[in-house]
């Protein structure tokens, strides 16, 4: 068997076209949607992520404002910046690029963002709404994974979905979104015993770890759908967490890196 490769770039484009139409409708009613992207310091990957988000805004007709602060910005200074953005009516979304430099209190910053403008869905109010199954803003990478599953008509209801990774950004919210879609969810992490025994029972396997080649073919149930969230740089090449070629022969569907979950994150 050779898996079908899921084209995240194509699905992401589909979503962007839908968003473009929504933006046009808003503009026609007199509202120009605006996003503030805040970058602190010079983390090379963060620069690329922010640049791609700003580019995506431009291509959709969304107003964007990049706030680039120096590495030695203090928590107090960043809190003031977030407060200013909260009060700007032309900005409807605020995105603070993570990770922040170690000396900044990340939890305090996320808590300071107006929950209504918290497009990353990381404010405790939005995280709580997700846990309770109430409406709210959702983190973009887990939303991107759900969109892939829905738009590829992969049956989630009743399926056993194994997620490797339990971060606040990806694994945990993804587990909750999958529960809302009536999946049976198992979250695995670095202390999980017998990881392979568990992953082999997953109809859908999601890897969100940041460890290249962690998901070898023997971890995959034959015919499973495999979603690779990981982004790792190996020898100047981007790779995921999945041992791509061997897993391609065992799974039924597989997302590539790049071109899988990445473009979905930006679109969402």
Q: Hey, which residues are catalytic here?
A: 53, 97, 120
Return the number of the residue (88 or 190) whose C-beta is nearest ligand NAP. Answer: 190
- Break the chain down into helix, strand, coil percent, rounded to 5: 40, 20, 40
CB of 250 to ligand NAP, least distance (A): 19
Q: In whole angstroms, how close is the CB of 5 to ligand NAP at the nearest point?
A: 16
d(C-alpha 114, C-alpha 132), whole Å:
20
CB of 138: closest distance to ligand NAP in angstroms?
14
Q: Which residues contact 58 (CB under 8 A, 6 or more apart)?
A: 64
Angle in degrees, CA 8, 11, 16, rounded to 5: 120
Closer residue to ligand NAP, CB minimum distance, 81 or 177: 177
CB closer to ligand NAP out of 81 and 215: 215
Report how far residue 253's alpha carbon sits from residue 156's, in angstroms, rounded to the nearest whole number: 14
The site for ligand NAP (CB under 6 A) is made up of: 141, 164-167, 169-171, 188-192, 195, 208-211, 214, 229-232, 261-262, 265
Q: At its nearest, how many Å lie between ligand NAP and the CB of residue 8?
A: 9
Q: With H, G, I as helix, E, B as strand and everything else as coil, classify residue 35.
A: strand
- In the complex with ligand NAP, which residue's Cβ is closer, 94 or 208? 208
Based on the number of CB atoms within 10 Å of its own CB, is 96 exposed (0-12), middle (13-18) or buried (19 or more)?
buried
């Amino acid at each position: 068997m050779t898996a079908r490769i899921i084209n995240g770039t194509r699905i992401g484009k589909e979503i962007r076209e839908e968003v473009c139409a929504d933006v046009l409708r808003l503009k026609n009613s007199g509202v120009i949607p605006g996003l503030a992207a805040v970058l602190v310091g010079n983390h090379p990957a963060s620069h690329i992520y922010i640049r791609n988000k700003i580019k995506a805004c431009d291509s959709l007709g969304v107003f964007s404002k990049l706030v680039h602060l120096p590495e030695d910005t203090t928590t107090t200074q960043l809190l003031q910046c977030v407060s200013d953005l909260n009060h700007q009516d032309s900005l409807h979304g605020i995105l603070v690029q993570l990770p922040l430099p170690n000396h900044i209190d990340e939890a305090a910053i996320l808590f300071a963002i107006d929950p209504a403008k918290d497009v990353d869905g990381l404010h405790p109010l939005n995280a709580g709404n997700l846990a309770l199954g109430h409406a709210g803003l959702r983190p973009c990478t887990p939303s991107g994974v759900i969109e892939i599953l829905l738009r590829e008509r992969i049956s989630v209801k009743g399926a056993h979905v194994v997620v490797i990774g339990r971060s606040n950004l990806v694994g945990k919210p993804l587990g909750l979104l999958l529960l809302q879609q009536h999946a049976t969810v198992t979250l695995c992490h670095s202390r999980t015993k017998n990881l392979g025994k568990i992953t082999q029972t997953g109809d859908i396997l999601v890897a969100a770890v940041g460890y290249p080649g962690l998901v070898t073919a023997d971890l995959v149930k034959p015919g499973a759908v495999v979603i690779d969230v990981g982004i790792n740089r190996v020898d100047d090449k981007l790779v995921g967490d999945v041992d791509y070629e061997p897993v391609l022969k065992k799974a039924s569907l597989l997302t590539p890196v790049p071109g899988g979950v990445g473009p979905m994150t930006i679109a969402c």
